[in-house]
Every structure is written in C-alpha cells, then in structure tokens.
Structure 1
Amino acid sequence: MSTTDVAIVGTGPNGLAAGVVLARAGLRVELHEAAETIGGGLRTASLFDSDVVHDLCSAVHPMAAASAFFRAFDLPARGVELLQPEISYAHPLDGGRAALAYRSLERTCEHLGADGPRWRRLMGPLLDHSAAVVDLVLSGQRRLPRDPVAAVLLASRVALHAGPLGAARFRGEQAPALLTGVAAHALGKLPSVASAGVAMLLGHLAHGTGWPLPRGGSGRIAQALADDITAHGGVFHTGHHVADLSELRGARAVLLDTSPKGVLALAGDRLPAGYARALRRFRYGPGAAKVDFLVSEPIPWADPAVGRAGTVHLGGTHAEMARQETANARGERTEEPFVLVVDPAVADPGRALPGKRPVWAYAHVPNGDPTDPYDLVRARIERYAPGFSDTVVAHRSVAAAQYEAYNPNYVGGDIGSGAMTLYQSIARPVPRLDPYRTPLPGVFLCSSATPPGPSVHGMSGYLSALSALRHCFGIYDAPDLTFDPSTLEFGRRG
C-alpha cells in the first residue's frame, strides 16, 4: 500500500510532466512503471549495435520546443539540445520530385513557385501569433481563448481545410501534398476538422520553433524530466505493474497515465456505471506499425534535397493520401500505406557510425493489424529512394497488434491514445467540465486520452496535476518550473 502524497501510474511524457509539477509543489511523489525503463513514448535503446541507438516510439519533437509546459521547463537549460534540420519535413513525389518545408518560410515559398504566395498567406499569420495558437490548441479546451485574433486565424483555416476546398486552393501538386502529409499525423479520415487542426499547428511550427530532434535521442527528454522529479524528492518504481487501485490506497491523489482501457482495468467495479460505460465507448484510432532499420549509408533519395529533411512523409499525392488514410480509418488495409521516415543522423550526425546508421519508420495501418510491416515500409521507401533495400544491414519490425504489448496505452497500435475525431478532440475521454478528474475521489487521468490529446507536449500531465493540486491539496498556484542547477545537482548526488 502506498503511503505517499501522490502516486502516478505510468511514466510516459505526461506522467513525467505531472510528476515534475507535483514534486515541485512540495509533495511526496512516487511513480510506478511496469517496464524496466521509464519514458513510455520517449524511450531510446540500442537494438542492433551497442554504439547506435534507436528511438523506440517518438523521434521528432515539435511540441518539446513549443508547448507551454516545455517552454517553462526549458529543456536546453537542462542539457537537452534540440537540433533543427535545415528542412523540417519533406514529401517526395514520383519522378524524382519533392515538396520541401524548409525552416525558412520564405525559402519554402520560393520552392513552391506559383503556390508560394498562397502558402505564405496560410502560414505567415499563424507564425505571427504562434505562441497563442499553440497555447490555444494545447489547452484544456474548456475556456474562452485568451487571444481572439489567434483563435480566428486558426478557426478560419481549419474550417477551409477540413473539406476538399482547402487543397483546391493550390494550383500545383507540391503544396497540397506538403500540407496533407502533415494533416495525416492526425491518424484518421482525410480531410477532417481534426486533421486540419493538426496541419495548421504542425505546419506553421515547421517554419517557427521547428521540428527538432533531441541530440542523442528522445530518451534524453525523459531523463531530464526524471532528473527534476528526483531532485525534488520523487521516487521511481520500475518493473512494477500496478494491477489494481487498491495498491495505491494510501496516496492522497492518484494520477493515471493510462488509456481509458487501463483505467477500467485498474478501477474494476469501483467506477459509476455511466462513467465506465462512457470509457468503454471511447474510440481508438488506426494503428501504427514500426520498422527500425540499421543501414550502411544515408537513404539514397531520388531528390537529394530530401536527405536534408528531419522528417519525410511518404504518401504520394494529396488524393492518394486522402484515399489511403480514409480507408485506413475504416479498418481497410492498403498496400501503399502512409509512412513517416526519420534519419536522425541528418540533424544529429553523432547517431551514425561508419557503415551503421539508424533509420526510424512508421506505417499507418488499421487498428490491431497483425501484419509484419517490413516489406510494406521497405517498398514505400524504395519507391522514392531506389537502392534503399541494398543498404539495409538489419531491421526490427513491430506490427500494430504487437504495440499494445510494448505499451498498454497503445491500444491496437493506436499511439495517439484515442481516435482524433472532432468529438473526441474535445470530449476526451468523456464529456466533463474537468476531463482529468474521474468520479473516484482523488483519482485523475493524465494521459493523451485527455485534452489536448496526442504528441509529446506534457500538457495533459501538467493540466491534470494542476487539477489534483486544487482538488486534493488546496493549492491554486502553479509551481515555478524554472531550472535550478544547484537543486538538480543536489538531487543527482542524493
């Protein structure tokens, strides 16, 4: 039985963010992790060679540079270097062509030719109000926006690009492909309100705070969060599976960095019938199937400029992606899935050794799909990088159906912890004024199944922790997250 102030189940980015806030509020915090290592979607490990590390889930982190939580937490001050590639993302097309989203908005517009002015009008105003746009999207979504100009700019663009008229505003093939590739990060039907929101958020950040990669891998972010928790007295229990809430009944507050399915398993029959019924109705989205490659040389993209991009989207034209992603959302498997590829050494050369280079790839597939994704992903890369197959030294593939075994939050391979529909973008996981507070006294949900949803932004954990501080401890002021090197060094020594 726990005898601490706060018990947190799960140490993904949101569980860790919650731990930071609550430990800094002066509370005794214990974090429980079923796996042997912390981090959830922020794990980095050696798979094929002890000197080459691979990101097991997330690899690129726009939100680590942009979200309010991470802005306050200040990763660079803590030694986490966020490396910015020259090209935030690229979208190869047939015929050796590619659409390129440079970090520079002006250079991107020049590359898009006749569609350049349209891209500037789309992204420029969002960039001018970027912090307000980010804070609006990454909020608890229960209050009026603080910046009405940012809200209008975002809403008008989402309304236009939530339907087919958005892509029709462009004249060429590159700009709509570039934008649709970003929209596909929503893992659902294209186009839609949710996908348009994702496209506007991530699309403008590509030219602002960027799509950075942490030097040394995503695990560096998890370690920085864990170091801060430990420095403020927090304790980690790894390799410890909490099977029932009764194990934590000594804690004044319990925060669950779990899926709704996980909440049901932990709470048993304690939940009111209506709330439990709503959690069972919660919809999970399409799955992600992962392939990690060890290759002998950089990917031989047909357009060499793609090799300077931190992230590469493989999906073909706007029409092809809309067709593939919509079929995928209906549970129909396609032979040419949307694939995301990251060659981390593009931004972080230290990740590669002579003849040994990590490559990260995800394919979007139906939820629970059991298919080994290796051949599908390899063929998708080969289409735009002839000769890639000859560079593969080793690979590891994880089907969507297997991902839940690695991380129970990824139900059926859904790495977003819930379908990104319009309804579930707001009412996550159920429609409540405080979505983090469950009907059980002192029990809160802090995972990506709560607003603002998926991505490594820490905001679900941050907002859940603030709710717990108010309701369980009578603390109404958010603790200061400013980096204090003397405190951190003390925590490391202790």
Structure 2
Amino acid sequence: MPNNLKEYDALVVGSGPNGFAAAITLQQQGLRTLLIEGAETIGGGMRTKPLTLPGFQHDVCSAIHPMAMASPFFASLPLAAFGLSFTYAKYEAAHPLIGQETAFLQRDIYQTASSLGVDRQTYLDLIEPVSQHWEALAKDTLGPLHFPENPLLLAQFGIKALLPAGRLAQRFKTPQGRALWAGMAAHGIQPLSNYTTSAIAMVLLGVGHRYGWPIPVGGSQAIADALAAYYKSLGGEIQTDTWVHDIRALPKHKILLLDLTPKQLLNMQGLELSESYKRQLSRYRQGMGIFKVDWALSEPVPFKDARCQHAGTVHLGNTFEEIAENEYRTAQGQLVKYPYVLFAQQSNFDPSRAPLGQHTGWAYCHVPNGSTADRREAIENQIERFAPGFKDTIRAAATMNTREVEAYNPNYVGGDINGGVMDIHQLYTRPTWSFTPYRTSNNHVYIASSATPPGGGVHGMCGFHAAKTALKDHYPNLSTI
C-alpha cells in the first residue's frame, strides 16, 4: 500500500485516461495528489504489450483514438513535449461491402461526401455542422447536463443525435452511405434501434473530418506514458501494484476520486455511502461485452479492395441491415454467425509495432455481457469475407473473452468497455439521476470513471469534470478552470 505516513489533499484511484485527467487537473491547481493503480503498469485501457510473438506490440484495449485530439482536456495538455506523437492513415476508416464499392471516411469532408454519390448533400447536412462547430459543441456535450453555452447549436445537434441510428439511416439512399453510418453508430455497442445511437456516429464522423483518427506511435501505452510524465513534472506521485479494497488503509487525504465502476464502489470497504445511494448504484446497467483477438501476421491483410490496407480502422459487417440485425440479436443474448467487427491495422502506419515486413492485427466483436464463448473463428470468418486468405497470414493469435477483459481491467464489467450502456436512460444520467453525477453520498468521495458523463472513450473528460466538481466543493478559491 502507499506510504501511510504521508498526507495528501487528494487521492485518485485508477490510472486510465479519466484517472489521469482527474489527477492532473487537481495537481495543476497546486494540490498534493497521489495516483494509485492496481496493476503493475499504468494506463487502464491505454496499454501496449507483446501479446503474441516477440517483436509484435499489441494494444491491449484501445487502439485508434478518434477523441484524442477532439477532447478539450487532452488538447489543453503539452503531451507532445512529453514524447507523444501520432501518425495517420490515408483513410480514417473503411467499410467494405460484398459486391459493392467500399465506403471510406476521409479527412476531407467533401471528398467523403462526394464519394457517396446521391447521398452527398445528406451527408454534409448531417455531419458538416458537427465538424465545423466541434469546439463549441464539445463544451455542451462532453460533460454533465447543464444550461448550454450554445443552446441553438446544441438543439440543432441534439434533434438529430437523440434519434435512433436506424431512423437517420433512412435518409441515405446508397448502400455505401447506409453502411458507413451503421459502422460508426455500432461503436455505441447497442442496438441501432435505440434512441441516442445517432449521437456517436455524428461525433465520430465529425471529429474524423476535424482532427482525423490518430494512431499513437508506439502504441496506446504512449498516451499513458506521456500523461504520467506530464503529471510527474507537476509534482504528482504514482503508486502502482496497489489494489484498493478498503479506503481506510489509504494515506490521510481530504478528497478521494475513484476511476471505478458502480460495481466496484459497492464492493469497496470504508466508503460510508448511504443506503439510498447504494441502491441507485445497484440499478446501474451494463451494456454488451466484447471478444477481442490480436494477431501476429506475416504480411498485410489481403483485402479484396486493396485500398482498405490504407485505412487505420476497417468496419466489417457488410450492409446497414446486416449490422443492425446482428447488433440487435447480440443485445438479446444471441451469438451471431457474422458479428460486426472493428478491425485495426496499426503496423501499416507505425512500423514499430512489428518486425520488418510483418504486421499486427487488432479486432473485437460485440457479445452478450459476460459471455465466455470463443468468437475467434467467427471474427476470422468475417474478415475472410472481405479479405480471402487472411487466415493464411496468421502466425500467432491471442484472445480475450469478457471474463478475461474484466480481469485485465475491472472497469470493463462483463466485457463492457463503455463503462455501462450509453442509451437514452444512461447517456447523461450515469451512474445516478443527478446534475452533479460525480458526487457520491459521501461528500469527500467522487466517481471519475466512464460511468459518469460523457461516458466511454479515451478523452479524459469524465475525470476532468469530477476533479472540477471536487475543486468547487472543497477548494472554491482554486476552482477557476
């Protein structure tokens, strides 16, 4: 455990992006802080390890980072000065179709729109306002419910964003437009018939045009390492290999911020939470889980459409109708033949990931929460539909089912990497119905994980807002950020 002889203004438990965001925000204000991590290494969902063969570096969880540059918190940090650099693919994302032309998300919004033919204006009407006004939108969307700074802009966005992705898909006439939309919306890990599923598609497309989808050089661990270096430069302290089960064993502190899920809060000793608050936490709902595969490959993936090799991310699910049906069935607890697969090929753009001439592959599909079914064959069969001969390039593979995903990072309950389903009932009212969801019933304890607004993703905004709330409550003279 940490040195109990020292005293801190604030302790932060969990070194994922939100834990670092909370710790950095507090340390920037001159507080004495300690960041505590249970695992032997920092990073949470930002870790890179040799999971298959020597020389192959695989991102254990997050891989491509659409929100890295779009996050107001990350954008405010001098991370480049602390070793972080990004590379970019020619195409941010590709969506191949069987018997049809591939759809591509390109940095240039007009090239993307024009490639969709008759859907050009539909695409621009939907996505161009997000791309053009993202900084203003981010202030009103990447945080808790509040009176908006830009009410008209937010209303224009929200009218569309709150709709089911299936509803807005009806505006697209081409298979490419509908498929591109489906692949983006499915990042939300819920049926496309759910309200609010249009929001994530609009954001991912909009920020893709604004900032691209960055690939961290050296792996996702590079983000964590840069955050740690900057945090330490401010005087912050980090303690790893320290699982916290009882907060009474921690050093003396004034406030405690937990980058943890409701499930973990309920199991932690010494928090002194009220019974009513604990009942609210117990009603928190998890979303679908994931099954993940990493591959060491002898050569680039042999996509039928060779242009897909120039995309950082490839969405594999074929048509809108196929993706929508399979996501719905998965949410109902079924295992589908051809699951929607998110595939990344970082080594095509960052040669440090694999030995010369060889490559890495990274993919996951959605599964029922807590499922222990082995979906490697289903994922590889889905890839083979669009890249015949893929299996022949495999030298080695490593898999993780939902239990193993949760064991790796307890925040991923049942394999749920979004920290709880982000449907209309839990988009902003997470983990409880409150305008200040970062507060718990103990006025010295705050929750700073993706179980708070704005939810899952490598952006740090949950931890940033939790820290701002704690500063306002306990250090109002410092709460100027």
TM-score interval w.r.t. the shorter chain? over 0.9
1:47 to partner: Cα distance? 2.0
Secondary structure of 2:468's counterpart equals: helix
CA deviations 1:80-122 (Å, max 9, x no partner) are 1122212111111112631111111121122211212221222
1:376 matched residue in structure 2 = 378
**Is there any run of 5+ residues in structure 1 with no aligned partner, and where?**
480-494
1:86-125 equivalences in 2 (<5 Å): 86-95=90-99, 97-125=101-129
The one of 231, 242, 249 aligned to 1:229: 231
For residues 440 and 249 of structure 1, the distance between their equivalents in structure 2, rounded to whole angstroms, comes to: 18
Q: State whether residues 295 and 358 of structure 1, in contact with CA within 8 Å, keep that contact through their aligned partners in structure 2.
A: yes
1:467 and 1:187 map into 2 onto residues whose CA distance is 29
1:310 aligns with 2:312: yes
Give 1:463 deviation, angstroms. Answer: 0.7
For 1:173-212, list aligned pairs within 5 A. Answer: 173-212=175-214
Mapped to 2, the partners of 1:181 and 1:65 lie a distance apart of 21
Give how far 1:274 is off: 1.0
Q: CA deviation at 1:77?
A: 4.0
In 2, distance between residues paired with 1:150 and 1:310? 31
Shift of 1:125: 2.1
Contact 1:134/1:201 (8 A) holds in 2: no
User: How many residues are matched?
Assistant: 477
Is 2:26 aligned against 1:13? Answer: no
Identity, % of aligned pairs? 40
Change in 2 beyond 3 A, CA 1:28/1:50: farther
Aligned counterparts of 1:308 and 1:163: Cα–Cα separation in 2: 27
Q: Is the 8 A contact 1:296 1:354 kept in 2?
A: no
* Aligned positions of 1:229-268 closer than 5 A: 229-248=231-250, 250-267=252-269
Alignment check: 8 A CA contact 2:168 2:198 kept? no
Q: Which residue of 2 aligns with 1:409?
A: 411
Shifted more, 118-127 versus 215-224: the winner is 118-127
Q: Residue in 1 aligned with 2:295?
A: 293
CA distance in 2, matches of 1:404, 1:164: 30
Partner amino acid for 1:71? A
* Inter-partner Cα distance in structure 2 for 1:211 and 1:269: 39
Q: Is the 8 A contact 1:186 1:194 kept in 2?
A: no
Partner of 1:484: none
Q: How far off is 1:269 after superposition?
A: 7.6
SS at match of 1:370: coil
Do 2:316 and 2:342's aligned partners in 1 also have CA atoms closer than 8 Å? Answer: yes
CA distance in 2, matches of 1:328, 1:382: 21
Residue type matched to 1:318 in 2? F
Question: Aligned with 1:439: secondary structure?
Answer: coil
Could you tell me how far apart the structure 2 residues matched to 1:75 and 1:156 are? 35
Per-residue deviation, 1:345? 2.0
- TM-fit CA distance, 1:476: 4.1
Aligned residue for 1:316, secondary structure, equals coil
Correspondent of 2:79 among 57, 75, 78:
75
8 A contact 1:293–1:394 mirrored in 2: yes
- Post-superposition offset of 1:478: 4.2
Assess if the C-alpha contact under 8 Å between 2:271 and 2:445 holds in 1: no
* Cα distance in structure 2, aligned partners of 1:454 and 1:164: 22
- What is aligned with 1:421? 423
Aligned to 1:491: none
Q: Give the SS at the match of 1:70.
A: helix
Which residue does 2:140 correspond to in 1? 136
Equivalents in 2 of 1:345, 1:300: separation in Å?
14
Query: TM-score under structure 2 normalisation?
Result: 0.96
Q: Deviations over 1:246-267 (max 9, x none)?
A: 1236111111000100111114
Unaligned runs of 5+ in 2: none
Q: What do the CA deviations read for 1:268-319 (whole angstroms, capped 9, x no partner)?
A: 6822111101111100000011101000111111111111111111112111
Give the counterpart letter for 1:72 in structure 2.
Answer: S
Comparing 404-413 and 109-118, the one that deviates more: 109-118
Q: What is residue 39 of structure 1 aligned with on the other side?
A: 43
Q: Residue 208 of structure 1: SS of its match in structure 2?
A: helix
What corresponds to 1:482 in structure 2?
Answer: none
Q: Per the alignment, in what secondary structure is the counterpart of residue 173 of structure 2?
A: coil
Q: CA deviation at 1:163?
A: 5.7
Tell me the distance in 2 between the aligned counterparts of 1:249 and 1:35.
19
Give the conservation status (yes or no) of the 8 Å contact 2:132–2:210: no
1:126 pairs with 2:130: yes
Cα distance, 1:26 vs structure 2: 1.2
Deviation at 1:355, TM superposition (A): 4.2
Amino acid at match of 2:212: G
Q: d(CA) in 2 for partners of 1:454 and 1:176?
A: 24
Given residue 23 of structure 1, which amino acid in structure 2 is its aligned partner? Q
Counterparts of 1:353 and 1:208, CA distance in 2: 33
Q: Give 3-state SS (helix, strand or coil) of 2:466's partner.
A: helix
Compute the RMSD of aligned alpha carbons: 1.6
Contact 1:126 1:150 in 2 (8 A): no
Q: Which has the higher helix share?
A: 1
- Indicate the residue corresponding to 1:486 in structure 2: none
8 Å contact from structure 1 (residues 96, 303) kept in 2 = no
* More moved, 455-464 vs 106-115: 106-115
In the TM superposition, what are the counterparts of 1:300-379 in structure 2 within 5 Å?
Answer: 300-379=302-381
| 1:152 maps onto 2:141 in alignment | no
- Taking structure 1 as the reference length, the TM-score comes to 0.93
Alignment of 1:449-468 (within 5 A): 449-468=451-470
Partner residue, 1:444: 446
In the alignment, which residue of structure 2 is the partner of 1:487? none
The residue matched to 1:379 in structure 2 has which SS? helix
